[in-house]
Amino acid sequence: MAKVLTTKEENYSQWYNDLVTKADLAENSAVRGCMVIKPYGYAIWEKIQAQLDKMFKDTGHVNAYFPLFIPKSFFSKEAAHVDGFAKECAVVTHYRLKNDPDGKGVVVDPDAKLEEELIIRPTSETIIWSTYKNWIQSYRDLPILCNQWANVVRWEMRTRMFLRTTEFLWQEGHTAHETSEEALAETTQMINVYASFAEDFMAIPVIKGAKSANERFAGALETYTIEALMQDGKALQSGTSHFLGQNFAKAFDVQFANRNGKLDYVWASSWGVSTRLIGALIMAHSDNNGLVLPPKLAPFQVVIVPIYKNAEQLAEISVKVEQIMVKLRLRGISVKYDNRDSQRPGWKFAEYELKGVPVRLAIGPRDLENGSIEVARRDTLAKSVEQLENIDQVVADLLDSIQENIYNKAYQFRAENMTKVDSYDQFKELLVTKGGFFLAHWDGTTETELRIKDETKATLRCIPFDSVEEEGKCMVTGKPSKQRVIFALAY
Amino acid sequence: MAKVLTTKEENYSQWYNDLVTKADLAENSAVRGCMVIKPYGYAIWEKIQAQLDKMFKDTGHVNAYFPLFIPKSFFSKEAAHVDGFAKECAVVTHYRLKNDPDGKGVVVDPDAKLEEELIIRPTSETIIWSTYKNWIQSYRDLPILCNQWANVVRWEMRTRMFLRTTEFLWQEGHTAHETSEEALAETTQMINVYASFAEDFMAIPVIKGAKSANERFAGALETYTIEALMQDGKALQSGTSHFLGQNFAKAFDVQFANRNGKLDYVWASSWGVSTRLIGALIMAHSDNNGLVLPPKLAPFQVVIVPIYKNAEQLAEISVKVEQIMVKLRLRGISVKYDNRDSQRPGWKFAEYELKGVPVRLAIGPRDLENGSIEVARRDTLAKSVEQLENIDQVVADLLDSIQENIYNKAYQFRAENMTKVDSYDQFKELLVTKGGFFLAHWDGTTETELRIKDETKATLRCIPFDSVEEEGKCMVTGKPSKQRVIFALAY
């Protein structure tokens, strides 16, 4: 098979687009900014969903479903929220079409105009808090710990598959609490859940931290984030968890009788991750041969390719392969046997390399004689011949090793691309020549943050939770600072 | 706890609405015709989804995701489809809001009008077949067996929670095949999957059959249906599978090189079930005390209520309950322990009866002494005292027995309410006095079918697959007929 991908070095952005389409993850649709998630890409999303859903339930959450539509007036109720979300969104104004009186086709029926326009949810705080009002009377009704798996729409001007699309799939948690402390603890718990998921399942190291006031979610008092570093040196915000204070409770008048019998407004958090995670997965690990998937999220972890000259050989091989598959499946390993006669082994090898299948097994007549099998790992492309006898143990160990190795590789890459800078000139130079995360002192003002963004396009990714206190001076203004924060170019 | 439900006998429709809201399944939202699916209701949907998804995958299907929006012009491409679907639907005409120049709030930005309006999908044949065009060149690309779990919107004038809502959740399968036979076989396979699911999991007997031309899906050559009988004697169409012929392939110009090297249009099927199934579940089994859930779809199958006077007693009971829960969970039985101190046992009993939990265990100090436990089954409300020793086996058997019993009860009810009629007068009388399914001869014309609907409101539910050939005369026109078909009032 000829090389199908533009290389990263040639054109990173084109490499990404090639990979998404050639590996059958997604493609652009007939609707501007909306993608079709193809079965192979959707299978990764299903793996992500299943694991996250388990983690949400293990921490006491339940799923529910709220309407796609939000009355326009709801957006005006929370002052900060309206500025952040009620702008670029899809607006439903009519509820009927009719046959075009002047010819073929259909036209919007002008008589079917809605009294109040409906907005396709860009996020659901408003519709959910208007609902919670009916659910909450007393502290006994709290906490409410709901999550929703849903589609949302934000009318983006520049879109890229998975990273930024007009419609995308996500989950949004919306919780209601008696106290500020409880809501903050929930906000922290969920950013920790996201970080564990990113590191343990996606094999992507992330930095946990707080957003600056300027980068906070519209309507939040605190936004916590996990920030991942992509191979082109840019940051990708991969999940956020918001402490909303009493803002939405006040906007929708959600009060409860507290333990002292007094009325108080309810405290809130919200948190979400989206199909953007698949973009992170692609950009963190893949290479010029295609995807590299972490075994824990691969739609199938092992592919077996038979090498044969005739039907008789194939039949013999298939008997052995059946036995191998049984052994692998008993260990919970997912495996696909590609015995299609329409493609050659070499074509299949390239295909599964492109699709990032973690382990490839190839078996031919000589292997049957020798009781051996060829094992190839996708991450390093290394091959070895192994005994068939313990193949299930070998593959299980190899999958663990691959999961660990791609995490370590990503961790190593981030370590090499996390730079302490102490002068603005040095920052500006290295931002262009090296990229990555920059640890710098900042005076804490939005003014300075915006100046940096304006002059360099770099944004303040987060104030890391684990940053050590250290006296320093803002790299731009020289004003005093107590800790370093992270700047980077970002998606 | 006071009776919270209107009885079925008083007002069936009110009983249903009461049940949906009081059992915490769903509630009406701030958006007309759209419901909020509450956590308990959504947990049932998750059970339905998990089982169906498994059945789809076991029959070779994969999931994918297609855009929420469909360009208006797509609806005009398939002549029959446009009449059926492009009428009552939500139309997006703008993509931006702006601050109201005349005061507070936001208004639609007139400068952000879409060139072509977008329709929120009422079903996805059009957007999917416009996508399949790019996926299919040769017979080697076939079959395509995709399913999608999604929300859809149909602008219904009269809505009822779960049964008919403006937005609803569903799955839609869309398959593409080389031959007419293959597409028809798929259509049949999927109606059989739905019927198995309805009978084996929902415990609802269904009649499989074909829709008349008049009741077919817009754009289909055949629509197969499963029809269930509700306790008020009305039919509920619970799932449909459509043979679409080459209609959508022709509308979107999807041709493939067949095995003879000639270009041919692709053959199609589509099939779907929705959150309406939850409405079926409620109406088929529930009683005046509340929900009756089949154990296989209950969010939790067993609830344990401690009976105690003081903290010490509760502590002793809880130790024993922990042991019981471990034993039950080892058998794959889901169990909830309600040790809340804020509610009395009697309140809890009524609450779980209302919520349809299949088995309730109650355990007090005397039980600890005697090594016993009280077991109550929701379907018959029968109680017994059982030995603690084998409680896991007892509960497992009981859950099987409940699943079987509620199926048998529904089957019995349907048998009693399935009436052969041979004259139109008899039909009209019994339709009012008895209700249920009516097996009648029909002359096969849309004219007669519409006359019956017009005069009685009854509709032709289906031409059953298992109806025996029998010479007869149409009950209305007296024209010859070869088999009985099913008429009923319907949701």
Domain B302-398 sits in CATH at: 3.40.50.800
Please determine, for residue B82, whether its predicted confidence score (pLDDT) is greater than 90.
Answer: no
Q: Where in chain A is the domain with CATH 3.30.930.10?
A: 12-285
Q: Which of A29, A62, A118 lies closest to B31 in CB terms?
A: A118
Residue pair A236/A491 in contact (Cβ under 8 Å)? The answer is: yes
Please check whether the domain covering A418-488 is classified as CATH 3.30.110.30: yes
CB pairs under 8 A between A and B: 188
Nearest to B93 among A63, A69, A93 (CB): A93
Q: How confident is the model at residue B80, as a pLDDT?
A: 75
CA distance A433 to chain B (A): 38
Give mean pLDDT, residues A13-37: 97
Q: Is the dihedral of CA B154, B157, B159, B163 positive or negative?
A: negative
Looking at the DSSP bridge assignments, the partners of residue B472 are B481
CB atoms within 10 A of CB A401: 15
| Backbone angles phi and psi of B249, in degrees to 5 | -60, -40
Q: What is the pLDDT of residue A225?
A: 98
At A3 the pLDDT is 64
CA angle B369, B374, B376 (to 5 degrees): 175
Chain B residues touching residue A145 (CB < 8 angstroms) = none
What single letter denotes the amino acid at residue B134?
N
Mutate to test the interface with A, among B45, B92, B102, B149 (most CBs of A within 10 A): B92
- What distances in angstroms separate CA B360 from CA A446, B335, B386, one per listed residue? 59, 10, 12
Range(s) within chain A of domains with CATH label 3.30.110.30: 418-488
A-chain residues within 8 Å CB-CB of B147?
none
Instruction: Provide the angle, in degrees to the nearest 10, between the axes of the packed helices A39-58 and A180-200.
Output: 140
Q: Which residue has the tokens 């068939």?
A: A388
10 Å CB burial of residue B248 (0-12, 13-18, 19+) is buried
Cβ atoms of residues A107 and A60 within 8 Å: no
Residue range(s) of every CATH 3.40.50.800 domain in chain A: 300-400
Going by C-alpha positions, the residue among A226, A238, A56 that lies closest to residue A147 is: A56
Interface test with A, best of B65, B130, B134, B156 (most A CBs within 10 A): B65
One-letter amino acid of B53: D
Looking at CATH, the fold of the domain delimited by A300-400 is given as Rossmann fold (3.40.50)
Which of A36, A37, A75 comes nearest B106 by C-beta?
A75
Q: What is the dihedral sign for C-alpha B149, B209, B163, B123?
A: positive
SS3 for B400? helix
Q: Which of A283, A286, A285, A326 is nearest to A302 (CA)?
A: A326
**Residue B86 token pair:** 């492009």
> Mean pLDDT, chain B, as a whole number?
96
In this predicted structure, what is the pLDDT of residue A1?
Answer: 45
Taking the CA of residue B158 and the nearest CA in chain A, the distance in Å comes to 14
Phi and psi, residue B465, nearest 5° = -65, -30
Q: pLDDT by residue (tens digit) across B294-314?
A: 999 999 999 999 999 999 999
What's the number of CA atoms in the CB half-sphere (13 Å) around residue A66?
Answer: 25
Please indicate whether, in this complex, the C-beta atoms of B63 and A46 are within 8 angstroms of each other.
Answer: yes
Q: Which one of 3.40.190.10, 3.30.930.10, 3.40.50.300, 3.30.70.260 gives the CATH number of domain A12-285?
A: 3.30.930.10
Cβ-nearest to A71 among B31, B91, B93:
B31
Which of A27, A35, A69 should one mutate to test binding to chain B, selecting the residue with the greatest count of B CBs within 10 A? Answer: A69
Measure the CA–CA gap between A19 and A31, rounded to whole angstroms. Answer: 21
Tokens of A76: 């005006």
pLDDT in tens, B253-295: 999 999 999 999 999 999 999 999 999 999 999 999 999 999 9
Q: Is the pLDDT of residue A83 over 80?
A: no
**Model confidence at B86: pLDDT above 80:** no
- pTM score, whole prediction: 0.96
CA-nearest residue of chain B to A105? B76
pLDDT grade, residue A86 (50/70/90)?
low
- The per-residue pLDDT for range A337-366, each reduced to its tens digit, is 999 998 999 999 999 999 999 999 999 999
The residue behind tokens 């603690």 is: B388
Instruction: Match domain B12-92+124-285 to its CATH number in 3.20.20.105, 1.10.10.10, 3.30.930.10, 3.40.50.150.
Output: 3.30.930.10
All CATH 3.40.50.800 domain ranges of chain B, comma separated, are 302-398
What whole-number distance in Å separates Cα of residue A419 and Cα of residue A431?
A: 10
Instruction: Give chain B positions within 8 Å (CB) of A153.
Output: 68
Q: What average pLDDT does the segment A368-390 reach?
A: 97
Digit-coded pLDDT (tens) for A228-252: 999 999 999 999 999 999 999 999 9
Residue B278 · residue B41 · CB < 8 Å: yes
pLDDT digits (tens, 9 = 90+) for B118-168: 999 999 999 999 999 999 999 999 999 999 999 999 998 899 999 999 999
Where residue A245 falls (left for φ over 0; alpha for ψ -120 to 50; beta otherwise) is left
Q: Do B63 and A155 touch (CB under 8 A)?
A: no
pLDDT in tens, A394-413: 999 999 999 999 999 999 99
CA distance B331 to chain A (A): 20
Q: Pairing between strand B359-363 and B372-377?
A: antiparallel
Single-letter amino acid code for the residue at A109: D
